[in-house]
Amino acid sequence: FGSRLQSRTLPSGFEFTGAASAQRMGRHRGGGSAPSLDDLNREQKVKLMRLMSRDELFQTAGIVNVLLLLVVILKVPQVYWVVHVISSFVYLPWRFVRFSRDNCELYMLDFCYMATYITVVGCMLCFIRVELGYTTIFHQWNNLLIRAGFTFSGGSLAWSVVIFKNSLVFYNIDQMTSVFIHLSPAVFFWCLRWGGGYGVVSMEEWWPGYFDICPGADMAKVDSCLEWPRTAWCDACPAHWADFTWKPAIVYMVAWAVPYALLIFGCLRGWIERSQKETLYSFILGDSKKSAYIRALPEALWPLGYMMQHFAVNIILGVFTMLFWHSFLAHTIFGVLVIVACIHNGSTYTFRVFGINYARDLLAENASAFEEGSMCQKLKRRPSMSGYEPLAGTEAGEDPEE
């Protein structure tokens, strides 16, 4: 599986590099053997630097994007839902195209994606109801859906960042998309529940009638939950334990589990096998640790075991979100810790995976561009205060066109 995907980031956030990278080295475009970094002459080093320009652009765009998100979250969290919706129309189509290329677009039917779709559709329906005056049948379940979404986003989606090692890697669009899918809904519901620290009243003032997060509650008391010591626990915004247990379980079954099981294990099963489509189910079965419980069952019951395992994880992790609903302090600390884990995963990826494989794999994929010219001049990389000096024969900041 990892070899076929050739070291591409999976929805889970894992990277497959070992055998996949080795195959890429021997199966690059243009055939032949891939050149070594030590064999490049000056002209070829400039070519290599030019090939890096796209990733340099992604790095710049990624940093700018995160900085702008921080400004929105800290200064105007009331508009984060707009950013969330717009971002989904960038990241999700991009991922579909890339996954279709690798025959694994069915990953986008998995629960984490579905939860993101629901948040986007929900926001759009709120806009339609208020601005255009058209109310759908879903509005009668607004209170239920908001608390179910809060449970999913603060539970299984947020924990997926840790479990699947999602990484904040600015220059890797696949990594950034995985972070968006699992983290952005959690940030959205944090902004919705607490007004991003400015209070629910501020959300209502910005978007009157849109979300109605605490129906029937005294808004002054609700916002007092942001004052110490009520930041530790406050029940001014009504929510029962059922809102974070069996009610989200019903939404989970109706909105995703039953339709997904019927499609993947029923209607589309033959087509999936014939087309060799990859799914999260096949990925989990390929991991002996994650599929230990499933494989303990008879093979005919593996699909049922997978769905039961998925259901149990979602419900167990969702129970803790009751604390987050009533505690601004706990919810904020949890969110910060998840973001720190995401940043740390990005640092680990950069030094342990990207730093080792990047130039080598870039050469392997574009070997035909380096087949002409002298291959005798040696590349020298010497440690420096910034990590490494530029490629020998070039200067830092040198324009490859010069």
Q: Tell me the DSSP string of 40-75.
A: --HHHHHHHHHHTHHHHHHHHHHHHHHHHHHHHHHH
Tell me the average pLDDT across 253-279. 95
**Neighbour-count burial of 178, counting CB atoms closer than 10 A to its CB (0-12 exposed, 13-18 middle, 19+ buried):** buried
Predicted pLDDT at 374: 39
Condensed to tens digits (0 to 9), the pLDDT of residues 71-124 reads 999 999 999 999 999 999 999 999 999 999 999 999 999 999 999 999 999 999
pTM, full prediction: 0.81
Q: What percent of the chain has pLDDT over 90?
A: 67
Higher pLDDT, 172 or 89: 89
Condensed to tens digits (0 to 9), the pLDDT of residues 173-192 reads 899 999 999 999 999 999 99
Condensed to tens digits (0 to 9), the pLDDT of residues 151-167 reads 999 999 999 999 889 99
- How far is it, in rounded angstroms, from Cα 233 to Cα 255? 31
Predicted pLDDT at 33: 58
Predicted pLDDT at 372: 54
- How far is it, in rounded angstroms, from Cα 127 to Cα 134? 9
Predicted pLDDT at 35: 67
Q: Is the pLDDT of residue 21 over 90?
A: no
Tell me the average pLDDT across 128-147. 95
Candidate from 89-93, 194-198, 340-344, 377-381 with smallest mean pLDDT: 377-381
Closest to 371 measured CA to CA, from 32, 117, 96, 6: 32
With cut-offs at 50, 70 and 90, classify the pLDDT of residue 373. very low
Predicted pLDDT at 206: 96
- Farthest CA pair distance, the chain: 77
Q: How would you classify the pairing of strands 383-384 and 387-388?
A: antiparallel
With cut-offs at 50, 70 and 90, classify the pLDDT of residue 349. confident
- How far is it, in rounded angstroms, from Cα 328 to Cα 213? 15
With cut-offs at 50, 70 and 90, classify the pLDDT of residue 200. very high
Condensed to tens digits (0 to 9), the pLDDT of residues 281-332 reads 999 999 888 899 999 999 999 999 999 999 999 999 999 999 999 999 999 9
Predicted pLDDT at 19: 33
Beta bridge partners of 388: 383
Closest to 316 measured CA to CA, from 234, 252, 257: 252
- Answer for the pair 321, 154: CB distance below 8 angstroms, yes or no: yes
| Whole-number average pLDDT of the chain | 84
Closest to 78 measured CA to CA, from 224, 180, 236, 194: 194
Candidate from 121-135, 190-204, 283-297 with smallest mean pLDDT: 283-297
Predicted pLDDT at 23: 37
Q: Is the pLDDT of residue 344 over 60?
A: yes
Closest to 125 measured CA to CA, from 110, 108, 145, 155: 145
Q: What percent of the chain has pLDDT over 70?
A: 82
SS3 assignment, position 112:
helix
Tell me the average pLDDT across 242-268. 96
Predicted pLDDT at 56: 86
- How far is it, in rounded angstroms, from Cα 303 to Cα 264? 9
With cut-offs at 50, 70 and 90, classify the pLDDT of residue 16. very low
Tell me the average pLDDT across 11-18. 36
Predicted pLDDT at 185: 97
